[in-house]
Amino acid sequence: MGFEIEVSGGPAGARTVRVRRDGAGARDYVLAGPTQAAYQDLFARFAQDYGCRLPLARRPVAFDGPDPRLEPLITENLTPEILYGYGDPSVLRDGGRWWMAVTSNDAPQSFPLLTSRDLLAWEPAGFVFPEGRKPEWAVDGVGSDYWAPEMHRVGREVWLCFTARQTNGELAIGLAKATSPAGPFSLPEAPLIGGDVIDAHILPDPAGPILYWKSDSNGHWPGPLGRLLYERPDLLPALFPRAEDQVTGEMARALHVWSETLGPMEQFCLRQLLIEAVTEDFAGFRERLTRLRSQVGPSADTILEALTTTVYAQRLAADGSCLVGERVAVLCNDLPWEAHLIEGMWITEANGHYWMFYSGNDFSTAQYGVGVAVAPTPFGPFVKQREPFLRSSRDWWGPGHVSVAPGPDGRPRLFLHAFKPGQMGYKVFRALLTAGLVFEDGTVRLEARPLRRVA
C-alpha cells in the first residue's frame, strides 16, 4: 500500500502533514512554512520515523580545516533592505571604485548594488530595480526570482544581464543598461532570451560581446521522475537499489499530486530529497534508467535528456539588442563531482587562454563547488580540470558563482559566495569571500593574498 500523505493549511503559514503507511494509524507533522529549512526539518523527522534519506543539510559534515586562501569580506547583512545576503556576486572595477550586484530572489527591491574603495568596506548603493520599478514581463513579489545579476563595462555603457521569472512561469535572461554602475538602469521591454535559461555571463570580446548562459534543464527532470514513480511504483527497486532511497521514492510518489500545485521554488524544496537520492549515485541512476527505457517509454527519454545541463555561447549585436551568429554548446555536466548540473559561469582571458570558472552540483548543499575549464578561443573547445577548483571547507560551505576583477594591486581576484556551516538553502544568507588568482605555466591557482585597508 505504501504511503498516503495529506497536506492541509494555507500556502504561506504552517501546514499539517498527515502520514499513513501501509494502512497503519496516521501521524501528524507540522511543516513550519514554505522554506527549504522547514522542508529539511520535516524530512529529518520522516527519516527518523520511516527510514527515508536524511537530507544532506542535516547530516554532520567534517572537513580538514579552514581554507587559508579565502578572505571574508561581508559576513553579515549591511542593511535590512538586503534580505538574503550576497549570493552570485558580480564585482566590477570602474571609475576608481569597485561595484557589486547580487541576487535578491523575491525581495521587494531587486538586485542590491554596493560599492567600495578598498574591497574591505562596502556601502549599499541602491538597487538595480527598486520596488515598483520592474520589467513588465517579469513576475514581481512573492513567487518572483531575480537571480544572478552581472555587470560589465561595454564601451561607454554598463551592461547588466540578469535572470528573472516571466509571467508564463519560465526563467528568462534580460539586459539592462546604464552609463554608470550606480545606475539608473534601463527597464528592458522584453527578455533577451527565454525558455528556462539562467546565469547569463557577458564577455566583452574585441570582436563583439559574447553571451554565455545555461539551460535550466536540471529543473525539468524531478517533476517527470515523480510522475513516473506515481504511475509506476514497480520501478522503484530497479531505479533505487538502496532501501532508504526506495522509501524516499515512495514518499515522493505520495507527495507528487500535491507537489504539482506548488510554485517552482517550493517544488524544488519539496523534491529536494528525491533529487539527493538521484545525485548521490548520479551515474548509476542514469545507467539504470537507460536500461529501463524500453519498459518506461518516452518519459525515460524526457528525464535522461534533462539530466544534462548545457552552457551555450553566442555573440550579441553591438548594441546588445539581440543575439547574432551561431549558438555553440561549450560545456555540460560530465564529471562525477558536478552531478546533475553546472551553472554560474565566468570567463576571463589570461596568458592567451580563456578560463571558464563555473559551479557544479546542488547549490544548497556542501557538495557545491567551483570548477575550471580552459580553451584557446571564447567558443572552446574547453578542457576541464577534473577535480573541483574550490570546494567546501570547515568555515565556508557551498562556495560558488564566482566573478573575477582586478584587486588594488591590479592582479586578478576571485569573488564568490558561500554559506556559514550548517546554514544552507534557498533564501538563506550567503557571505562574500575573495582570494587571489595566479595564472602561470598554463595553469590557474588560488593564492592567499590579504587585502590592505586604504587609509
Q: Tell me if 82 is assigned to some domain.
A: yes
Q: Tell me if 134 is assigned to some domain.
A: yes
Q: DSSP for 246-300?
A: HHHHHHHHHHHHHHTTS-HHHHHHHTHHHHHHHHTTHHHHHHHHHHTHHHH-HHH
For all residues of the chain together, what is the average pLDDT? 95
pLDDT band at 337 (very low <50, low <70, confident <90, very high): very high
E strands within 337-454? 342-350, 353-360, 369-375, 383-384, 397-406, 412-419, 431-440, 443-447
Determine the pLDDT at residue 11: 78
Give 338-390 pLDDT, tens digit per residue.
999 999 999 999 999 999 999 999 999 999 999 999 999 999 999 999 999 99
Query: 70: Cβ–Cβ under 8 A, 6 or more apart, which residues?
Result: 393, 395, 396, 399, 418, 433, 434, 435
State whether 164 and 239 are in the same domain.
no
State whether 341 and 323 are in the same domain.
yes
Sheet holding 27-31, edge to edge: 3-8, 15-21, 27-31
Q: Tell me if 86 is assigned to some domain.
A: yes
State whether 186 and 313 are in the same domain.
yes
Determine the pLDDT at residue 325: 95
Determine the pLDDT at residue 64: 82
Q: Tell me if 361 is assigned to some domain.
A: yes
Q: Tell me if 36 is assigned to some domain.
A: yes
> Which residue type is seen at 287?
E
Determine the pLDDT at residue 427: 94
pLDDT band at 190 (very low <50, low <70, confident <90, very high): very high
> Which residue type is seen at 315?
R
Q: Tell me if 289 is assigned to some domain.
A: yes
Residue 279, Cβ neighbours under 10 Å: how many? 20
Q: Read off the C-alpha cell for 137.
A: 514581463
State whether 291 and 413 are in the same domain.
no
CB 311 within 8 A of CB 330: yes
pLDDT band at 223 (very low <50, low <70, confident <90, very high): very high
pLDDT band at 142 (very low <50, low <70, confident <90, very high): confident
CA 168 → CA 138, 139, 196, 261, 417, distances in Å? 9, 9, 10, 15, 30
Mean pLDDT of 33-54: 96
Mean pLDDT of 135-155: 95
State whether 301 and 317 are in the same domain.
no
pLDDT band at 62 (very low <50, low <70, confident <90, very high): confident
pLDDT band at 38 (very low <50, low <70, confident <90, very high): very high
CB 453 within 8 A of CB 121: yes
Please tell me the total count of domains within the chain: 2
State whether 255 and 292 are in the same domain.
yes
State whether 147 and 21 are in the same domain.
no
Cα angle for residues 421, 427, 430 (degrees, 5° grid) = 45
Determine the pLDDT at residue 8: 93
Q: Tell me if 455 is assigned to some domain.
A: no
Determine the pLDDT at residue 1: 63
Domain boundary among 257, 277, 306: 306
Determine the pLDDT at residue 291: 97
Domain boundary among 306, 340, 371: 306
Higher-confidence residue of 442 and 377: namely 377
State whether 322 and 204 are in the same domain.
yes
Report the alpha-carbon distance of residue 146 to residue 202 in Å, rounded: 18
Domain boundary among 291, 306, 321: 306
Mean pLDDT of 220-238: 96
Q: Tell me if 454 is assigned to some domain.
A: no
Determine the pLDDT at residue 453: 67
Domain of 165: which CATH number?
2.115.10.20
CB 175 within 8 A of CB 150: no
Q: Containing domain of residue 331, as a range?
A: 71-216+309-447
State whether 414 and 394 are in the same domain.
yes
Report the alpha-carbon distance of residue 25 to residue 5 in Å, rounded: 12
State whether 116 and 238 are in the same domain.
no
Mean pLDDT of 393-402: 96
State whether 261 and 410 are in the same domain.
no
For residue 63, pLDDT beyond 90: no
E strands within 75-121? 90-94, 97-101, 110-116
State whether 206 and 352 are in the same domain.
yes
